[in-house]
Amino acid sequence: MTTSKERGPGSATTADAATADATPKPDASGKLTLAEILELVAGGQLPLRFTAYDGSSAGPPDAPLGIELKTPRGTTYLATGRGDLGLARAYIAGDLEIHGVHPGDPYELLRALADELVFRMPPPRAIAQILRSIGVEHLRPIAPPPGEAPPRWRRVATGRRHSKARDAEAIHHHYDVSNAFYEWVLGPSMTYTCACYPRPDASLDEAQENKYRLVFEKLRLAPGDRLLDVGCGWGGMVRYAARRGIRVVGVTLSEEQATWAQGAIAEEGLGELAEVRHGDYRDIRDTGFDAVSSIGLLEHIGVRNYAKYFRFLQSRLRTGGLLLNHCITRPDNTSEPSTHGFIDRYVFPDGELTGSGRIITEAQDAGLEVLHEENLRPHYALTLRDWCANLVEHWDEAVDEVGLPTAKVWGLYMAGSRLQFERGGIQLHQVLAVKPDDRGGMGDLPLRPWWTA
């Protein structure tokens, strides 16, 4: 929810001096108010109005955006949660309220914080004063709000990271929220992956249909071909391909997704061509597929498992078959892949992201020849914008279905992710590869890309 910027060489002394000069004077008890503490760590620059239960306030009185700290428990969450986790806990628990934005889409507030709020480390004397003012009772961790995943060290009870059992638990945490809730957020397509907008003013449904069209064309699918769709979600790609005469097997670890997808297949009369299985992709024994699509699965695989993942998918393809991998990435290949804080505990437990270069390397090392890759980053920002709009429109129904804390998690997660995609903090890459024969032959593939953008 906030951003921290590094100061350049030589600026520390000036900044620290300015902070020291701006240090508020304690009251008769020797304590600072909560608003004074915030002003101190923010260098006096607040882009919104802050009010607290102790009666203090800071920031422009007429600011259109605001944050209200309502309870002492909220102070404890803020003081004990690392990074964005403390803010998220206080917000989800109802101890911190936001003003000027809808909880289903707090994008404008997050953007204001990212643009203007810079936390600086106060000098040691000021830190000591802050700790005295907060009080030792607020420096002891307390139980987090319901719905938070346990820390990673406690997840070993369900197995090693990215074991089948632990992956199943992580998928259950994120995807088995409620099919009705997802219908309201995702819309009729029930597609929980980046859309591809043919025009800036295209609707979400049009953009999702266009994404499936793009994947379909990249894989050069033709009636009678066989497609394996791993991590198939609610079966959007499965049904799109089956409507065009493709024999499709989809697989998902989410029982609720599988049940919904199987119902949709039956309703559309696609049962002779389409099948969605509830299980782990690693349990697929079928081989000889003409194509494999993996849309939004790699984020859950774990970077250390990429080699096994691509080798497995390569082994399911016939010679000359095509693989398309579509996933969220980082803008570099050196950052720590594991997610932390709010995302890891409330959204994607055990999620891992890396750069497209690492993905291409692992695909190549598994015997696949990469033909094309592209970055759809701006499209994911638009997708998240539209998902947030859907959540706002169906807010009351969503809260009735999953509860206010969960609905707030999703508004915060999607709005924050939109901001990250807009600014390049995360990206979305599609990588297309072929399984060549022993002599490097790739069948009858055209010399140049054969799909339309």
Q: Where are the domains of the chain?
A: 12-138, 164-434
pLDDT band per the 50, 70, 90 thresholds, residue 198 = very high
Closest residue by Cα to residue 39 from 131, 120, 138, 155: 120
Alpha-carbon span 231 to 295, nearest angstrom:
7
In the chain, the percentage of residues whose pLDDT exceeds 90 is: 75
Alpha-carbon span 216 to 326, nearest angstrom:
13
What mean pLDDT, rounded, does the chain reach?
A: 89
Quick check: helix, strand or coil at residue 117?
coil
CB 223 within 8 Å of CB 244: yes
Q: Over 80: is that where the pLDDT of 21 sits?
A: no
CB 305 within 8 Å of CB 162: yes
Alpha-carbon span 405 to 384, nearest angstrom:
19
Give the pair of three-digit tokens for residue 95.
Answer: 């101890």
pLDDT digits (tens, 9 = 90+) for 305-328: 999 999 999 999 999 999 999 999
Contacts of 265 (CB under 8 A, 6+ apart): 235, 238, 239, 242, 271, 274, 275, 276
Quick check: helix, strand or coil at residue 78?
helix
- Crossing angle of the two packed helices 204-218 and 377-393, in degrees rounded to 10: 140
pLDDT band per the 50, 70, 90 thresholds, residue 4 = very low
CB 164 within 8 Å of CB 280: yes
Alpha-carbon span 370 to 360, nearest angstrom:
7
In the chain, the percentage of residues whose pLDDT exceeds 70 is: 88
Say if domain 12-138 classifies as CATH 2.40.50. no
Other Cβ atoms less than 10 A from the Cβ of 197: the count is 21
Judging by DSSP bridges, how do beta strands 96-99 and 226-230 pair with one another? Answer: unpaired
Paired strand residues for 293: 229, 324
**Buried/exposed 28-43: b ≥16 CB within 10 Å, e otherwise:** eeebbbbbbbbbbbbb
pLDDT band per the 50, 70, 90 thresholds, residue 63 = very high
Mean pLDDT of 420-446: 96
Mean pLDDT of 82-90: 91
Q: Over 50: is that where the pLDDT of 93 sits?
A: yes
DSSP single-letter state for residue 445:
-
For domain 164-434, the CATH class is alpha beta
Q: Over 50: is that where the pLDDT of 368 sits?
A: yes
What's residue 121's pLDDT? 79
CA–chain centroid gap for 153, Å, is 21
Quick check: helix, strand or coil at residue 51?
strand
What's residue 92's pLDDT? 96
Give the pair of three-digit tokens for residue 127.
Answer: 């830190």
CB 99 within 8 Å of CB 66: yes
Looking at the chain, the number of H-run helices and the number of E-run strands are 17, 11
What's residue 339's pLDDT? 78
Q: Can you give the length of the chain in residues?
A: 453
Closest residue by Cα to residue 342 from 399, 416, 279, 291: 416
Rg of the chain over CA atoms, in angstroms?
A: 24
